[in-house]
């Protein structure tokens, strides 16, 4: 769910400081939902679990019912009570959202059909910890259709769509999640997924690593039966590499974060759209003619720049890497240092994965009404803390929009308090979620069915052929028709007609 | 010099058939300069040596003087006669071309300045075999400025700019090359570079592998003193990997073809411009509103599609790889099979690296005046041979432009007889050549100065830091200002402030 | 506020003295009332008054207070009660919105400064009937700063921002407007503006023609003192031309709808942004790879097509006019009949100003999940009525989003029930409103200060010089620096150095 | 043939009977002669006649034959000798070029078919003076097919394609033109067209006004039989307006220069392509990353900016008109004064129609290697004369490319000596020529067939319906399918189903 070019991936790569700190530092539970910061494996609550996550659909979130779900006795229409959600009666609303999502996730629906006969997950007992959304529900129900039994908790205390959780519970999925969990609720829900009589998971699907951490800490013996972990987040993947490095990873793990489909599509194409959406929803600004500086020209920066240029903005780019810098030049962007343009720009967007890219000094020099936001990694890029000084006045003008006012009346428009704009202020297209969910499903199938010895106690990337398969499942959405190699052509190229079609280092 | 996504690179990758055939097949010397085909190491003349290569500048190519340069006695103004060029008197014209090129190759000029004091190539004796152009001259004179002695032959019997060769000879470089060499001349020139009293090369700079091949065949003992080979072409690199695989590579070799700067800039950005230039110069067509199908969506295809879309063409794409196919979709191109659109398109462009992508059947179904050309690899993509049948009439309407006429009067406009359009019908921007030449210079410096044991008898890719350095040398051209990491940021990211900034698998 | 291509002619005035100077030329009534739906002056409620109009800001709209504002006794802090708004206590919230808008309407703020000394509207008594938004408030307060007295009602029963109305009332403006007026309220508010003891308007600013209509009907004698009408809407302008044609227009009127700044900027540039915003906010769809058909390639269609193409959609265009059709071709769009693509497209957008462009037959043939929306004129373009049949089920899935479900389960996603997407589902950028408001202010100044006889009882267009002046006032927003002609150049071109720079028929 | 924004007004005719029908409306002489340099009718040689004009095809221009065509005795294969061309034996080559052009001028070919039966030009005796190219030949042979007799001279002493002239002569057209005429030859050829026993023209087709001027001067009585003049150039049109103003225009004239199809397509779309082509062919530069300033944002400037931005250049714009300036801003270009960027840009392009836009002072401040060229009107925009000073050295480095060298070694790259880049250094796409030629043919038909009194001794614009007809004839090239209005829709819009579809002032 995080943007930014991660420095993780191949196990050969050294870990940067901000990752290494994870294991060493303790962080207080932060009541204000932020999306980041350093985190300790030993701290009490997951950082990622406090991400907020916007959704267009939440019909029934009346806050009238203040009873904790943990204190309620609820049953679904079949009398089953092995779940804990906000209100089982909202199931119908949730089912509608799931049905809408199904229409936009044809890859998973195709997977249901293709793998229906053989039930490749027959016998699989999957425990999952992810955002609970309509899209996740489509994934869960697909896993079910493939033969798996699932138990699920939320990876984030705010992101659960209660209606969807209710719909899943109504359908018989043991779901333990609601919007606005406390820290204690969070771990209680996770525990309810794994600590259950007569059922022991043999697969883990995690997003952030909290579930994996919990099992490591509380039920290490469970790993004896677990065939593998599938992890989707930058943070969770990092934790796995740490475990591996430390020799403590006791099952194979699949890093689905670094698959090409996720990296290129999630970062480049998704950000190309969400930067516009995020800025519009928060500020209603017109893009035409605006001067914008985009810090960082990785995939995220490339997407932001392409979109803004296309809409008539004048875009400047900052970079530290000369290769990306040269790409920016060839793509038609002036490459500058932030200081050179900070006085003149209307918008500052960070996409670096770095920290303190926008400093108080920069903020002091921006012109009145300058908009500042972050599309990169976590909330470190803009030094928001430096704005919490007595001489500056903060004024919340809209949800996710603060005016920070200087003594001379100058206002800076800070979006999402420096957290990720696209997660906070726009929606994530179902299409992108579909790619990720399909990848997760395939990774589970692969790990579950892999013959003894194919995977060791290490972190693996998805085989390229699977990336290609995920892509191919999404082509029908676009009525796209793939060409097949003739036998003669395949021989000429030295390729198998079914792929993989590129060497592993191919850059796309 | 070839476009197309090569399948070479990491030594781990298997070789496709069309490469493997190199070593096993014998090919007749082809009098008609083509740009490709299978080639045998044992055949008498280099395939690549017959590439033709367009140049805007050739002032003095009067064919009045038919005497072979080998039969002439020429001396430069200092009385030196250790060279063989068409006409030493053309030196002044060539010098002007070199001076113009210098203005557009600031990276090499910067290299001259930066490395001037220490002469990193002092003692280097470099034998080179490349196209002899103004840009190559800037490279050679840069190597000289860095301390090297050079001897040079042409890698292609047609591509030498006689004036430039004369200018180099006048400046004291032993150059053996002219436009229109015979096969025998070709090898004679190479031999004159290496077989010289009292001088033995210790470095090889090759483009196509012919020079390397010659030394292997004739002077294998020379390798004892050779510190390394720098090779720039797809074909030459392939030969090196074959040697390595066969255990016959006896010195380290540097593959500069697969560096990111070359791949991304040469293929994507260069083709983005040369597709337009090549089509305009040959056909004067208007791009607006034309329907175009581009076969292949690798870097070359991406460049062609972007340019044509930008100029108002309606572009369809064909692909075999679902990931590239999905990229095409997200970039706004209809993904089709060639058959679906072949009747309606105005232009067919191949960029696949594959063979028989456009078959006679396709050609039969094209509409009148359809333009067919190749931007991919070699001349295999369009089945031109299938058009050499009695019922079709060929009419050469302009240089590089044939009308192939069907019995019913339908005409197909075939460009460059199916060879590479951008090499045949447009010019290669100096900027791209500058990137390649700088990379070659750095590779030579690296191999020459590497401590014992750093490189073994294998094929190496340029270290990422060098790629980054090449890129950084080209930024001043764009008045581009790179941002430097603070110490704190470098620590946070776990990076050295001077790079490399990305893991090796980074896709850019 | 309506999109669509409208009527404009040519005329050439001078600027007012305090600005430059005006000529007195007359604009003939334009006989061709194209693109305007016919409507009756005698109908009971304004059609435009029922358009709803989205706004990002409405903090305090708790529906707790159900008392009609007409029944409340409210006073502002100075004891004044000559207004009728929802809740005067919301003034502070509204003031903040006004202040934000001021920052984005630099042209009006500049006008305040430039004309401050001479008060060009001193003595003006302006009655206005427009949307009551923060931007309107900036206009009203500008008129006040220029010397005018104003009384204001809303031109739409839904669009009033109550906080803004409160802020205006608090500042002493007699404002009669609230969100959710009844039809009776609507006319009551208008009447309260004009029917007041000891105050008689001498200028009218209207949007839709309802205010003008009311005065014609109820207080025709008032026109004796009225110096002119400024009208901004297509509909209102049409009414004025009708009056003029019928010989019933008894004062000069200024048509500000057809100025080039409004037409080109409002339609082309604004729609370029609002089509994306409207689609995202309603459907969260991803644009990349989607197939879209845009009906109509006027300014609105051009804007929609440009934006969607830029975001990676594949766009088809339908047109009736061969010139616009050829433009679409040259811009890279396939020109089709709707029938040819209706089965395959993901989105249908109408921008024609025509009626029944999308018929039930088309709707029947669309694929599942196809999105249908209107960016053109009013709600005639899609035959929504044809969907109100018993076999189809309507399901409201979100605000402004209906699923229309066919018996076989196929769903069509209908946005805003076929009304204007950008007014209903996105916000209008302040920048565009600024252009319109500035034009209105200048038109009022011109009419108010025009010497006897310059304007007769007819409908006039803004002089080109004023269009240029409005544009020039907006350039500082972009830090744009205009070049001035030298005397020699002006003479060469036969132009005045201060403009106008183009003949009236110039197309831009 | 000149770019630049010109004069157009409004009028509304009907189509000719064989097509549709015409109205008889009159167009007032437009008093504002903007953007046209003043030139004297009495000067000795046409300015436009010295423009050179590049062509891709000239196979047989060996300069071996130095005999003046006037001194040769030549006959075509039928024994006819009423022509004067370089070499009648080149006819076959020319015929091939004409056949190629026919394939790209479907509108004229369609006209031949549609009007074949009735021969709308039967009895017409047309004397023409235009560029003699393959496209002109298609026009002439179309006029012949429609019943006209033609005699033709060249409007430019350099632009004649000798092979094409030969082919026309071989086909029986009395053509008097060759490449490289002297001034005396130029007028002699024109005279041979009109001063002929037993044949008197009744229609004039002129490009630049020289033919018209010659008849005025030498054979004023000829106008008694002449039904009208069709003029295509800015300059020629200006001359006609001058004659009209002076009361000396004695026949109706049709201004085809200012039709919307010519203005929008020739200027915007054609320049969008030719700016790239002209720069590439002269300099081989890479566009990506280059900084460019474009002076003027009319149609020509808009085309140049769009193309260069699309190819990755960073584009700045200068403007004098605030409306065009605001368009530049909204389109994403920084609006600057030339001085602000002159030191940093790589390319300067003028598109203003003005004079001395680039002065010596600017040239002095440009950086080394800056490219300077003109896409606007004639050769006034760059003050080239100011560079003819002793301290500057001129070096012709390629055809149409001069290096101007400052004492400190700085070089400016001046293209086409400041004349129009696209005419000098690129080719004009046949498609654009097709639009113009079709318009000319229709204008001739209209004037020739107009009933007495429809046209007076004045200058007329093409009726919009004819513009629409020209456009519609070009749609099949793009396989574009126009939508027809239903009766109900036409009624709703108040339009005739066959057009015209827009009011005269519509901006497109």
Order of strands, edge to edge, in the sheet holding C175-176? C175-176, C149-154, C125-130, C203-206, C228-231, C253-255, C459-461
**More confidently predicted of C6 and D73:** D73
CA-CA distance, B473 to A326, in Å (whole number)? Answer: 10
Q: Looking at chain B, which residue has its C-alpha nearest residue A479?
A: B335
Q: Pick from C311, C312, C332: which is nearest to B313 by CB?
A: C332
Using pLDDT thresholds of 50, 70 and 90, give the confidence band for residue A284.
confident
Segment 248-267 of chain C within 8 Å of chain D by CB: 260-261, 263-265
- Looking up tokens 């007595």, which residue turns up? A390
CA-CA distance, D162 to D142, in Å (whole number)? Answer: 20
Least confident of A496-500, B48-52, D292-296: B48-52
A488 is in an annotated binding site: no
Is the per-residue pLDDT at B151 higher than 70?
yes
B381 is in an annotated binding site: no
Contact A278, A415 (CB under 8 A): yes
Q: What is the predicted pLDDT for the residue at C234?
A: 82
Rounded to 5°, the CA angle A195-A197-A198 comes to 120
Is the per-residue pLDDT at B354 higher than 90?
yes
Return the closest-CA partner of residue A205 out of A97, A318, A128.
A128
- Looking up tokens 């094929």, which residue turns up? B459
Segment 294-313 of chain C within 8 Å of chain B by CB: 309, 311-313
Contact residues, chain A, for C480 at CB < 8 Å: 289
CA-CA distance, A287 to A289, in Å (whole number)? Answer: 6
B262 is in an annotated binding site: yes
Q: What is the predicted pLDDT for the residue at B39?
A: 29
Contact C97, C164 (CB under 8 A): yes
Is the per-residue pLDDT at A24 higher than 90?
no
Contact residues, chain D, for A291 at CB < 8 Å: 334
Contact residues, chain D, for A314 at CB < 8 Å: 332-334
Determine phi and psi for D493, rounding to 5 degrees. Answer: -85, -10
B396 CB within 8 Å of a chain C CB:
no
What is the average pLDDT across D9-36?
30
Question: If phi over 0 gives left and psi between -120 and 50 gives alpha, with beta otherwise, what is residue A453?
Answer: left
**ipTM of this predicted complex?**
0.86
Mutate to test the interface with D, among B261, B280, B347 (most CBs of D within 10 A): B280
pLDDT 10s digits, D167-195: 999 999 999 999 999 999 999 999 999 99
B237 is in an annotated binding site: no
Sorted by sequence, the CB contacts under 8 Å of residue A161 that are 6+ apart come out as A55, A57, A58, A94, A97, A132, A133, A134, A179
CA-CA distance, C322 to D500, in Å (whole number)? Answer: 10
Q: Cβ contact (<8 Å) for B284 and D478? A: no
Cα Rg of chain B (Å, integer): 23
Return the closest-CA partner of residue D173 out of D164, D183, D181.
D164
User: Which percentage of chain A shows pLDDT scores above 90?
Assistant: 73
Q: Pick from B276, B369, B431: which is nearest to D276 by CB?
A: B276
State both tokens at A22.
């994870």
B323 CB within 8 Å of a chain C CB:
no
CA-CA distance, B352 to B345, in Å (whole number)? Answer: 18
Angstroms from D354 CA to nearest CA on chain B: 28
Using pLDDT thresholds of 50, 70 and 90, give the confidence band for residue D65.
low
Q: Pick from C291, C398, C479: which is nearest to A56 by CB?
A: C398
Which of A316-320, B448-452, D473-477 is modeled with the greatest confidence?
A: A316-320
A37 is in an annotated binding site: no
Contact residues, chain D, for A330 at CB < 8 Å: 288-289, 312
Sorted by sequence, the CB contacts under 8 Å of residue B307 that are 6+ apart come out as B271, B272, B273, B275, B276, D310, D311
Surface-to-core class of residue C441, CB atoms within 10 Å of its CB (0-12 exposed, 13-18 middle, 19+ buried): buried
Surface-to-core class of residue A503, CB atoms within 10 Å of its CB (0-12 exposed, 13-18 middle, 19+ buried): middle
Q: Looking at chain C, which residue has its C-alpha nearest residue A474?
A: C289
CB atoms within 10 A of CB B366: 23
Contact residues, chain C, for B311 at CB < 8 Å: 332
Mutate to test the interface with B, among A326, A361, A476 (most CBs of B within 10 A): A326
Contact residues, chain B, for A499 at CB < 8 Å: 321-322
Q: Where are the beta strands (DSSP E) in C117-194?
A: 125-130, 149-154, 175-176
D288 CB within 8 Å of a chain A CB:
yes
State both tokens at D453.
């009194």
Q: At what angle do helices D91-103 and D134-145 cross, to 10 degrees?
A: 80
Sorted by sequence, the CB contacts under 8 Å of residue A287 that are 6+ apart come out as A276, A279, A308, A311, A312, A313, C273
Q: Pick from C269, C323, C340: which is nearest to D471 by CB?
A: C323
Q: Pick from A314, A329, A334: which is nearest to D332 by CB?
A: A314
pLDDT 10s digits, B161-200: 999 999 999 999 999 999 999 999 999 999 999 999 999 9
Q: Looking at chain C, which residue has its C-alpha nearest residue D9?
A: C505
Q: Looking at chain B, which residue has its C-alpha nearest residue A356?
A: B489
pLDDT 10s digits, C401-430: 999 999 999 999 999 999 989 877 877 778
Q: Cβ contact (<8 Å) for A311 and C310? A: yes
CA-CA distance, C128 to C125, in Å (whole number)? Answer: 10
Contact residues, chain C, for D508 at CB < 8 Å: 323-324, 327, 507
CA-CA distance, A197 to C11, in Å (whole number)? Answer: 86
Is the per-residue pLDDT at D41 higher than 50?
no
Q: Looking at chain C, which residue has its C-alpha nearest residue D334?
A: C480
Q: Cβ contact (<8 Å) for A18 and B495? A: no
CA-CA distance, C430 to C134, in Å (whole number)? Answer: 9
B2 is in an annotated binding site: no
CA-CA distance, C27 to B400, in Å (whole number)? Answer: 60
Beta bridge partners of D347: D292, D371
B299 is in an annotated binding site: yes
Is the per-residue pLDDT at B36 higher than 70?
no
Cα Rg of chain D (Å, integer): 23
C33 CB within 8 Å of a chain D CB:
yes
C507 CB within 8 Å of a chain D CB:
yes
Q: Pick from C284, C285, C479: which is nearest to A344 by CB?
A: C479
Is the per-residue pLDDT at A28 higher than 80?
no
Is the per-residue pLDDT at D214 higher than 70?
yes
pLDDT 10s digits, C419-469: 989 877 877 778 888 999 999 999 999 999 999 899 999 999 888 999 999
Least confident of A348-352, A427-431, B360-364, D444-448: A427-431
Using pLDDT thresholds of 50, 70 and 90, give the confidence band for residue B65.
low
DSSP character at residue D353:
S
pLDDT lower than 70: segments of chain C: 1-65
For strands C334-335 and C393-398, give the pairing. Answer: unpaired
Contact residues, chain A, for C96 at CB < 8 Å: 395, 397
Is the per-residue pLDDT at A182 higher than 70?
yes
Contact residues, chain C, for B330 at CB < 8 Å: 288-289, 312
Determine phi and psi for D444, rounding to 5 degrees. Answer: -60, -45
pLDDT 10s digits, A135-146: 999 999 999 999
Contact residues, chain C, for D502 at CB < 8 Å: 5, 321, 323
B475 CB within 8 Å of a chain D CB:
no
Q: Pick from A288, A369, A429: which is nearest to C285 by CB?
A: A429
Sorted by sequence, the CB contacts under 8 Å of residue B79 that are 6+ apart come out as none
Contact A151, A193 (CB under 8 A): yes
**More confidently predicted of D231 and B117:** D231
Contact residues, chain B, for D104 at CB < 8 Å: 369
Surface-to-core class of residue C64, CB atoms within 10 Å of its CB (0-12 exposed, 13-18 middle, 19+ buried): exposed
Mutate to test the interface with A, among B272, B482, B502, B504 (most CBs of A within 10 A): B482
C4 is in an annotated binding site: no
Three-class secondary structure assignment of D197-212 = CCECCCEEEECCCHHH
Q: Cβ contact (<8 Å) for A468 and B507? A: no
C301 is in an annotated binding site: yes
A262 is in an annotated binding site: yes
Q: What is the predicted pLDDT for the residue at D8?
A: 29
Contact B212, B206 (CB under 8 A): yes
Per-residue CA distances from C70 to C67, C94, C165, C179, C182 (Å): 8, 20, 14, 13, 11
What is the average pLDDT across A200-207?
97
Q: What is the predicted pLDDT for the residue at B231?
A: 96
Surface-to-core class of residue C262, CB atoms within 10 Å of its CB (0-12 exposed, 13-18 middle, 19+ buried): buried
Angstroms from D472 CA to nearest CA on chain C: 5
CA-CA distance, A58 to A44, in Å (whole number)? Answer: 29
Mutate to test the interface with C, among A58, A280, A475, A481 (most CBs of C within 10 A): A280
pLDDT 10s digits, A56-79: 334 444 445 678 999 999 999 999
Q: Pick from B289, B333, B334: which is nearest to C330 by CB?
A: B289
CA A168, A169, A173, A178 torsion-angle sign: positive
Q: What is the predicted pLDDT for the residue at C44?
A: 36
Angstroms from C326 CA to nearest CA on chain B: 9
State both tokens at A108.
């998973």
DSSP character at residue B133:
S
Is the per-residue pLDDT at D23 higher than 60?
no
DSSP character at residue B480:
-
């Amino acid at each position: 769910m995080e943007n930014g070019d991660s420095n993780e991936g191949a196990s050969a790569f050294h870990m940067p400081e901000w990752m290494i700190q994870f294991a060493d530092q303790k962080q207080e539970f932060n009541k204000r939902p932020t999306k980041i910061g350093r985190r300790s494996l030993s701290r009490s609550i997951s950082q990622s679990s406090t991400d907020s996550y916007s959704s267009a659909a939440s019909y029934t979130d009346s806050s009238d019912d203040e009873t904790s779900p943990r204190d309620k006795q609820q049953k679904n229409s079949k009398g089953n009570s092995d779940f804990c959600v906000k209100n089982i009666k909202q199931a119908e609303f949730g089912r509608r959202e799931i049905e809408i999502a199904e229409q936009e996730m044809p890859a998973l629906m195709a997977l249901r059909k293709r793998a229906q006969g053989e039930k490749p997950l027959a016998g699989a007992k999957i425990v999952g910890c992810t955002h609970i959304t309509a899209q996740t529900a489509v994934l869960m129900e697909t896993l079910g259709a493939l033969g798996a039994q699932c138990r699920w908790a939320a990876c984030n205390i705010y992101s659960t769509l209660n209606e969807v959780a209710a719909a899943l519970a109504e359908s018989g999925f043991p779901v333990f999640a609601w919007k606005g969990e406390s820290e204690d609720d969070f771990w209680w829900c996770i525990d309810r997924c794994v600590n259950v009589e007569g059922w022991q998971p043999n697969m883990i699907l995690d997003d952030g690593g909290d579930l994996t951490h919990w099992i490591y800490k509380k039920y290490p013996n469970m790993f004896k039966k677990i065939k593998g972990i599938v992890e989707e987040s930058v943070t969770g993947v990092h934790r796995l590499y740490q475990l591996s490095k430390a020799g403590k990873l006791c099952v194979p793990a699949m890093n689905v974060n670094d698959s090409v489909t996720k990296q290129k599509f999630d970062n480049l194409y998704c950000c190309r759209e969400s930067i516009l959406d995020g800025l519009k929803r928060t500020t209603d600004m017109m893009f035409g003619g605006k001067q914008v500086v985009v810090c960082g020209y990785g995939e995220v920066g490339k997407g932001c720049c392409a979109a803004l240029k296309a809409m008539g903005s004048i875009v400047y780019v900052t970079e530290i890497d000369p290769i990306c810098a040269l790409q920016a030049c060839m793509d038609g962007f002036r490459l500058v240092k932030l200081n050179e343009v900070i006085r003149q720009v209307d918008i500052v967007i960070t996409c670096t994965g770095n920290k303190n890219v926008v400093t108080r000094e920069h903020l002091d020099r921006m012109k009145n009404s300058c908009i500042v936001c972050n599309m990169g990694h976590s909330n470190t890029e803009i030094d928001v803390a430096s704005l919490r000084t007595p001489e500056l006045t903060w004024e919340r003008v809209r949800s996710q929009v603060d005016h920070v006012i200087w003594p001379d009346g100058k206002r800076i428009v800070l979006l999402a308090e420096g957290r990720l704009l696209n997660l906070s202020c726009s929606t994530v297209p179902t299409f992108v979620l579909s790619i990720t969910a399909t990848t997760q499903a395939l990774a589970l199938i692969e790990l579950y069915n892999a013959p003894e010895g194919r995977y060791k106690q290490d972190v693996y990337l998805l085989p390229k052929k699977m990336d290609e398969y995920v892509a191919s499942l999404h082509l029908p959405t676009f009525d796209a028709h793939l060409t097949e190699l003739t036998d003669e052509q395949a021989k000429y190229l030295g390729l198998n007609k079914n792929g993989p079609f590129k060497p592993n280092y191919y850059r796309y």
